[in-house]
Amino acid sequence: MKELKNKLLPIGVFAASFLLIWIFSAFDAEAFLIDDNRTQWIYVIDRAYGDLFRTGKMPVYDFFQLKGFKVADPGYYSIMNPLMLVSYAVTHFTPLSLSTLTFYSFIMYSFGNMVFFKLCQLLGRNVGECTMFTAAYSVMTVCFGVSYWYYSFNNYLFIPLLIYVLLKTKGKRTEYFGCGIVLAFELLCGNVQFTCYHYMLYGIISLLMIVFKNRRQIGVFFSNIIVAGVLSAPFLIMMLRVSGSFYNDEFLSGASPVLEMVIGSFLPTGILSYFGINLPFEGDIHGREDQTWLFNGGFSAFWLSVLISAVIWYDKNRPSDQGKDKSRGSVKKSNAEFISRVKKAYHSICADPKKQLVAELAVSLLFFTSFANGDIVAHILSVMPVIKGFRFLFKVILIVGPVFAILTVASVPLINEKFLRRARLVCCVFIAIGAVNVFFANIVVKDYFTSEGSIAYTEEKEYGQQFIDKINWDTGLYRYATYMQYSSITPETYLSHSGFIRNFATSIGAYSLSAYEIAADPEHLEQIDMLYNKDAYATRMINAGDMAYLLSGTRHNQEEFAESLKNNAVKYLIIQKAFEVTEDLTDYATSDVVEALGGVDGISVAEVISVNDYFDAIVLDGVDSLCTDGENAAELSCIRMDTLSFAAEEGRDYTLSFAYNKGLTAYLDDESQPLEVTGNDFGNTVISIPQGKSGTVYLTYKDSLCMIGFVFEGVITVLFVALCIMLVPERNKKN
């Protein structure tokens, strides 16, 4: 009966954690669906998985964004994430009314707590201690403070899982591939930056294991790295194919000073921020002052209690100061004693696996703390290939938090029992405070990214259709472009549906010049550089453009702008209304745009429509359609996100306003009749229809590397599940 109870405990932890995070989110079905989760990821993720279940094929390309966009390559869209597939299926085919990314975050949190509980058991803690430390882990705000990045919760699960697998497989054959499988699987889950940091964590621990005379770890380490590298090869190549088009100098930005991390880890910053008490810390995330990501549950309080107890004990038991000799000989003797103590400590660590683990985690914590602080570690990494392209040092805090939590649990056997009694009590008090703190932290973060014009995700499509109907939008014939004004930007104008910014186009099936610019193909950006200035704030931050080029006042620029509108099939200009028009080029009225376009040959303004309180729509005449044979327009239909179709006549060459790519293939009626696909001088795609042939043309994107990636995804998933099953049996009776 006791054995059955022990086996059911982790399941109970998972269920309790799922309920707990639902309570923390105030039972919000769209919890964490804010900022990037809302504006970038969910639109593409839901569309892609919807296409998968509807057609049986997973799209890896998005024709709605920019002029064609590789959504599989960056990893952020979780196209090859097995856990995201499960999340979509559960939320769309069961009565559970949560959004896909909400459910994903919930299960990563719940699995993270379950694995952390198992890790506590593996480290020899009793049920009470396991429960206490898992509760402390569950109220850390490190992930909740940046919950608008769904992949932040990956750290919550995979860091304890990586350590658990490393310890659980030690001395077994599985140690040669266990950690490699974990690292390969987590790369599928959306963020190469965090996976890279987990590689660093594994490397640091392995290096110290070797230093502590565990020589066989050399073979184990390289074996796991090879396993991870081979299994991840297709995905790493795919990620290397996309480049950071805008951000090349943000690696060292957003540092988190050590003092801030230490002080903030004790303070219920969620509660304080909710009541308007923002502390004057030096570091921040994107200008936010709430610091809600710093609270470390009961772990910091646990260590503070231990430290105070140790100081009091030392003060009572320290030796007398009699006979101090400050002679040169005494100094030499002291140096010798110091060296002797270091050697003794080293041999003591080498002889005790518990001390080894504490030392390994402590050094790892110092490494990542120095990294987040912007010290020498950060500067060394900032010049390393690939890594230097990562963004923001504050993201390293998401590694620091879980490592600190695991270090605390591992250190318990080395702490005096008298100190532990007080520390446990203090930890429990901070857990209770932390539970309230997480609740308020979620409110603070949500409020920060929510405005009066916000509507539910489930209502956005209906709003989008009303928008389309209002301007008589021919979505199958023309594209749109949104333009923002920096000085007049408000929270309402940041909303995706308000001005059709970010990746909202994919959600409603409209063609846009917007895209997640960090992973955009440079060739695609070059085709729209007259329309979107890639260095402008609106382009960088909102996936919209500005009007500086058109309104520069030169005839040449106006003509180039108009020509680019034609070639890119942009019939609809969605212009943010200005609150105050000034002489600054970033401030203009819609009438200024109309006037600038009025003097350009070949293009005319057909209508100006006020679509809402924040945006106008300028409808143009004289623009080429998305698909044309030079005389007539052909309306596009979307079969899948990566597959378009249109009716074609014999002997015609059709030009499509999508960037030519070698992966684009076309066929007539069925795949047995392939068609020639080429690119024209502007870079658009041209499909040639032979004489005597007519029918429905299908244009799709095929990538052999992505196809290989799906095979590897299946293999990795099977291996990962098999590894988890192998680790389930409790063979260690001591635990």
Give the domain extent around 245. Answer: 2-315+331-450+712-727
Residues 154 and 230 both lie in one domain? yes
Q: 503 in helix, strand or coil?
A: coil
589, 622, 655 — which closes off a domain? 622
Assess if residue 474 is contained within a domain: no
Count of C-beta atoms within a 10 Å radius of residue 530? 20
Q: Tell me: pLDDT of 331 over 80.
A: no
- Prediction pTM value: 0.94
Spatial contact of 129 and 412, defined as CB atoms under 8 Å apart: yes
Q: Tell me: pLDDT of 622 over 80.
A: yes
Q: Which of 134-143, 287-296, 355-364, 661-670 has the lowest mean pLDDT?
A: 287-296
CA–CA dist 301, 296 (Å, integer): 9
Q: What are the residues whose beta carbons fall under 8 Å from the beta carbon of 43, sequence distance 6 or more?
A: 496, 502, 503, 504, 505, 506, 507
Q: Which of 182-196, 284-298, 301-315, 528-542 has the lowest mean pLDDT?
A: 528-542
Spatial contact of 634 and 648, defined as CB atoms under 8 Å apart: yes
* pLDDT in the model for residue 65: 92
Q: How many residues does the chain have?
A: 735
Supply 467's token pair.
Answer: 């928008």
Tracing tokens 């910053």 back to the chain, one arrives at 269
pLDDT band at 283 (very low <50, low <70, confident <90, very high): low
* pLDDT in the model for residue 732: 46
Mean pLDDT of 346-355: 87
Tracing tokens 């190549």 back to the chain, one arrives at 237
* pLDDT in the model for residue 605: 95
* 633 phi and psi angles, rounded to 5 deg: -90, 145
pLDDT band at 722 (very low <50, low <70, confident <90, very high): very high
* pLDDT in the model for residue 245: 47
CA dihedral (166, 168, 169, 171) in degrees, to 10, reads: 110
Q: Tell me: pLDDT of 580 over 70.
A: no
Residue 488 CB-half CA count within 13 A:
21
Nearest 5°: CA angle at 549, between 686 and 468?
Answer: 60
Mean pLDDT of 579-585: 58
Coarse DSSP helix, strand, coil percentages of the chain, rounded to the nearest 5 percent: 55, 10, 35
CA–CA dist 168, 523 (Å, integer): 48
Residues 584 and 556 both lie in one domain? yes
The DSSP string of 627-678 is EE-SSSB---EEEETTEEEEEE-TT-EEEEEEE--TTEEEEESSTTSEEEEE
Q: Which of 152-166, 332-346, 478-492, 563-577 has the lowest mean pLDDT?
A: 332-346
* pLDDT in the model for residue 28: 96
Mean pLDDT of 178-194: 96
Residues 612 and 670 both lie in one domain? no
- Residue 444: closest CA among 650, 600, 223, 293: 293
Count of C-beta atoms within a 10 Å radius of residue 630? 9
Residues 397 and 494 both lie in one domain? no
Q: How far is CA 382 from the centre of its chain?
A: 20
CA–CA dist 523, 81 (Å, integer): 28
Assess if residue 325 is contained within a domain: no
Exposure of 388 by Cβ count < 10 A (0-12 exposed, 13-18 middle, 19+ buried)?
Answer: middle
CA–CA dist 256, 279 (Å, integer): 14
- Is the CA virtual torsion 22, 28, 29, 30 positive or negative? negative
Residues 172 and 306 both lie in one domain? yes
* 683 phi and psi angles, rounded to 5 deg: 105, 0
- Is the CA virtual torsion 7, 8, 14, 16 positive or negative? negative
Q: Tell me: pLDDT of 192 over 70.
A: yes
* pLDDT in the model for residue 733: 43
> Tens digit of pLDDT for each residue in 405-417?
999 999 999 998 8
* pLDDT in the model for residue 601: 86
Residues 165 and 242 both lie in one domain? yes
CA–CA dist 713, 703 (Å, integer): 15
Residues 169 and 77 both lie in one domain? yes
* pLDDT in the model for residue 328: 54
Residues 96 and 205 both lie in one domain? yes
Assess if residue 466 is contained within a domain: no
Helix 82-93 / helix 42-55 crossing angle, nearest 10 deg: 80
Percent above pLDDT 90 for the chain: 68
Assess if residue 707 is contained within a domain: no
- Residue 155: closest CA among 417, 522, 405: 405
Q: Tell me: pLDDT of 285 over 80.
A: no
Assess if residue 733 is contained within a domain: no
Mean pLDDT of 18-47: 96
578, 598, 622 — which closes off a domain? 622
- Residue 252: closest CA among 388, 365, 143: 388
Assess if residue 627 is contained within a domain: no
pLDDT band at 602 (very low <50, low <70, confident <90, very high): confident
Assess if residue 112 is contained within a domain: yes
CA–CA dist 54, 58 (Å, integer): 10
Distances from the Cα of 174 to the Cαs of 104, 521, 719, in angstroms? 28, 40, 12
Q: 276 in helix, strand or coil?
A: coil
* pLDDT in the model for residue 734: 42
Tracing tokens 């998305």 back to the chain, one arrives at 626
Residues 582 and 602 both lie in one domain? yes
Residues 577 and 644 both lie in one domain? no
Q: Which of 218-227, 235-244, 395-404, 625-634 has the lowest mean pLDDT?
A: 235-244
Residues 539 and 658 both lie in one domain? no
Assess if residue 469 is contained within a domain: no
* Number of domains comprising the chain: 3
pLDDT band at 735 (very low <50, low <70, confident <90, very high): very low
Q: Tell me: pLDDT of 403 over 90.
A: yes
Residues 574 and 605 both lie in one domain? yes
> Tens digit of pLDDT for each residue in 380-398?
999 888 888 888 899 999 9
